A = this chain, B = another copy of it.
């Protein structure tokens, strides 16, 4: 397993800034700029919501025409620039244009991201001010850059790895992300930018990014809502001088990229709105991995399951009932359900069998409650019907989730 750092020291050839443009009150950081000194191979994975925000539509168009000389990403919080009509697209383009002008590159070399409230136009004066500030303060402070994209996140999210290639040279992969709410089973990225100084072939960048996100960002569930703005970008500037060539090099890159994505994805769940408990939920014994994933998502989005997590209640009945309504046949007599403290995939040691043969196992309620009182709990549901399995990371549904989302716009 690749060792992932929770901070980012330096990625050769990339400079970043996080600034307070006045979008948020009290001089809070609200805009981030990421610039590569040289052109990057780039790829993006975007929300599958039919209602796509203007920056998503803009980036998709840019990447259609330019996959190998992207220079910068400008990100603002507080306003999602979604459901903003033609003016929204004009503003997204203007945000890119002003960035391009400041750093000296073409309009089609800049990508943009927005997050925040739906339905307001970007305050372009503040955006312009933020771009000025950011372009003038570029450096290597990734913590500030990660803080600049936070909304209801309580802490910045960073991940970094260093990889030694087969030729002995080292390259880096580093990423920042924001999450907190509206995290859906499919494409649950919210906003994330991953940069690397390896040289990536144009044709494989998107495939590698999609593959890495499939088992990471696509496996986290906070509330099942998919945003209009979800975007995951990958920029590779090749400054390390390392070019992926052997199959082993590609495998190592893919693993390292997935490790960065997994760390960021899990951090999004851990810092989900109102989250008090981190759940690692594995469904196995399904007819296929897709079926396992479908059942895991149904369980992970069930309000009754999530409120039981919040109440430290080992209410396996709600988990089994949610599995039964996922739209795929299961046989309760074949189902077995275990729980274990912490994050584990080993359900032999210290785990507790709760349900088997269509009924409770005769476990001790005290022991079950003790496990559920942990801040991190692992659950294994074996359907006994096949070899498909899937793991998702999810969380509880708390009073604070309701408070945060009842008051969000005020």
| Complex interface: chain B residues within 8 A of A324 (CB) | 49-52, 228
A317 to B117, CA, bound (A): 8
Cα A224 to Cα B300 with chains together (Å):
13
Do B50 and A225 have beta carbons less than 8 Å apart? no
What would 15 more interface pairs be, CB under 8 Å, given A50-B324, A51-B325, A313-B408?
Answer: A50-B328, A52-B324, A85-B333, A87-B359, A118-B318, A118-B321, A119-B317, A225-B304, A225-B318, A227-B321, A303-B405, A311-B405, A311-B410, A315-B408, A399-B402
| Chain B residues with CB under 8 A of A307 | 401-402, 405-406
| Chain B positions within 8 Å of A408 at CB level | 308, 311, 313, 315
- Indicate if A353 sits at the interface (CB-CB under 8 A): no
Q: How far is the CA of A409 from the CA of B314 in the complex (A)?
A: 10
Q: Of residues 193 to 243 in A, which have CB atoms within 8 Å of B's CB atoms?
A: 223-228
Residues in chain B near residue A359, CB distance under 8 A: 83-85, 87-88, 119
- Asked whether A366 is an interface residue with its Cβ less than 8 Å from the other chain, the reply is no
Contact B317 A82 (CB under 8 A): yes
Say if the beta carbon of A302 comes within 8 Å of chain B.
Answer: yes
Nearest chain B residue, comparing its CB with the CB of A309: B406
Q: How large is the interface on A (under 10, 10 to 19, 20 to 34, 35 or more residues)?
A: 35 or more
* Distance to closest chain B CB from A409 (angstroms): 5
Contact of A406 among B48, B120, B228, B310 (CB under 8 A): B310
Q: How far is the CB of A191 from chain B (nearest CB, A)?
A: 15
* A304 & B223 in contact (Cβ 8 Å cutoff): yes
CB nearest to A222 among chain B residues: B303
CA gap between A405 and B182 in the complex, in Å = 22
Closest chain B residue to A48 by CB distance? B325
Q: Determine the chain B residues whose CB is within 8 A of the CB of A80 once the complex forms.
A: 317
Assess whether A260 is interfacial by the CB under 8 Å rule: no
Q: In A8-25, which residues have CB < 8 Å from any B CB?
A: none
Q: How far is the CB of A108 from chain B (nearest CB, A)?
A: 24
- In the complex, whether A184 has a CB less than 8 A from a CB of chain B is yes
A386 within 8 A of B: no
| Least distance between A349 CB and chain B CB atoms (Å) | 25
List of B residues within 8 angstroms of A224 by Cβ: 301-303
Decide yes or no whether A170 CB sits under 8 A from chain B: no
Distance of A355 Cα from B304 Cα, bound (Å) = 32
Q: Distance (Å) between the CB of A221 and the closest chain B CB?
A: 11
Contact present for A182 and B85 (CB under 8 Å): no
CB interface residues, A 331-357, toward B, < 8 Å: 331-333, 355, 357
On whether the beta carbons of A118 and B406 are closer than 8 Å, the reply is no
A333 to B322, CA, bound (A): 36
Scoring A residues 372 to 410 as 1 if CB is less than 8 Å from chain B, else 0, what string do you get? 000000000000000000000000011101110111111
Q: How far is the CB of A202 from chain B (nearest CB, A)?
A: 30
Closest 9 CB pairs of A and B: A118-B317, A311-B406, A51-B324, A307-B405, A85-B359, A226-B325, A50-B324, A49-B324, A85-B358
Residue of B nearest to A304 (CB): B225
Contact of A402 among B118, B225, B360, B402 (CB under 8 A): B402
The chain B residue sitting closest to A407, CB to CB, is: B311
A119, B88: Cα distance in complex, Å: 53
Residues of B within 8 A of A329 (CB): 50
Does A244 touch B at the CB level, under 8 Å? Answer: no
Residues 108-133 of A contacting B (Cβ, < 8 Å): 117-120
Chain B residues with Cβ under 8 A from A118's Cβ? 315, 317-318, 320-321
| 21 A-B contact pairs sorted by A residue (CB < 8 Å) | A49-B324, A50-B329, A51-B321, A80-B317, A82-B317, A85-B333, A117-B317, A118-B318, A118-B320, A119-B316, A182-B304, A224-B302, A225-B322, A226-B321, A226-B325, A303-B303, A307-B406, A310-B406, A313-B406, A315-B409, A399-B402
